Amino acid sequence: MLRVMVLVSGGGTNLQAIIDAVAAGNITNARLVGVLSNNRTVKSLERARNAGIPAVCVSPKDFADRAAFNEALLAKVDEFEPDLIVLAGFLVAIPQAMVHKYSNRIINIHPSLIPSFCGVGYYGLKVHEKALERGVKVTGATVHFVTEGMDEGPIIAQKAVEVCEGDTPEILQRRVMEQAEWILLPKAIDDIANGRICVKEGYVVSC
Ligand code: GRF
């Protein structure tokens, strides 16, 4: 059983998609062992508790500086002994110490087709604002492993989503979630849990 821990910052619709996929048997060989948020008030923690998953908060506000927060974050994650860490809308830069310790064991969902609209400053609604500003006709989502560089790790899966006339960032965000994110992320977890994919020489391959 793969021990999966999910890190969140917001509403947690991706977290819910994972919880539902486990319940429906669409993710097998995996157990959700914990949910961590950097924000005490988010709905994600409620979603986790409703599903009987231990939910904790590690907030930067409770620490003197970033280094102390990073240390506490890693210590809390370690307590759950995860085999896989899933960043499901986690808006905190992952400490390098965590990236190294959990090398090839952290995955992230990004709401664009990487390498478009990604990297520093591209998070949440901003990604969709930039896509609309640029006038792209197709956008999408990407699941990738987390490495040192932001949004630069090996790509696990991508799915394209059409941009429609009259889209607002909010409308586009919702469509990308429904048509791509909520499908890709649970599937990636299931693929990892069942040993269908692995990283070889910096690329994701079937194994
Ligand atoms: C998602 O669009 C995710 O790709 C992005 O932040 C959003 C989080 O949404 N990084 P939710 O908290 O899963 O509802």
Q: Which of 100, 110, 128, 144 is catalytic?
A: 110
Closest residue CA from atom 7 of ligand 1: 89
Atom 5 (ligand 1): residue with closest C-alpha?
Answer: 89
The model's confidence at residue 41, banded by pLDDT at 50, 70 and 90, is confident
How far is Cα 97 from Cα 93, in angstroms, rounded to an integer?
11
Say whether pTM exceeds 0.95. yes
Judge whether residue 97 has pLDDT over 90.
yes
- DSSP string covering the chain: -EEEEEEESS--HHHHHHHHHHHHTSS-SEEEEEEEES-TT-HHHHHHHHTT--EEE--GGGSSSHHHHHHHHHHHHHHT--SEEEESS--SPPPHHHHHHTTT-EEEEESS-TTSS-STT--THHHHHHHHHHT-SEEEEEEEE--SSTT-SPEEEEEEEE--TT--HHHHHHHHIIIIIHHHHHHHHHHHHTT-EEEETTEEEE-
Residue 184 amino acid letter: L
**For residues 29-57, average pLDDT:** 96
Residue with the nearest Cα to atom 3 of ligand 1?
A: 89
pLDDT in tens, 175-186: 999 999 999 999
Q: Which two tokens stand for residue 176?
A: 């990308």
How many angstroms is it from 176 CA to the middle of ligand 1? 10
Q: Which atom of ligand 1 is nearest to the CA of 87?
A: 10
Is-cis flag, bond preceding 54, omega within 30? no
Domain count across the chain: 1
Q: How far is CA 121 from the centre of its chain?
A: 16
Taking the CA of residue 16 as reference, the ligand 1 atom at the shortest distance is 13
CATH number of 15's domain: 3.40.50.170
Which residue from 106, 109, 128 has its CB within 8 A of the most atoms of ligand 1, so it is best to mutate?
Answer: 109
Chain-centre distance for alpha carbon 10 = 11
The pLDDT of residue 42 is 84
Domain carrying residue 135:
2-206
Active site residue 110: yes
Ligand 1, residue 176: give the atom nearest the CA: 2
By the 10 Å C-beta count (0-12 exposed, 13-18 middle, 19+ buried), 170 is classed as exposed
Residue located nearest, by CA, to atom 1 of ligand 1: 89
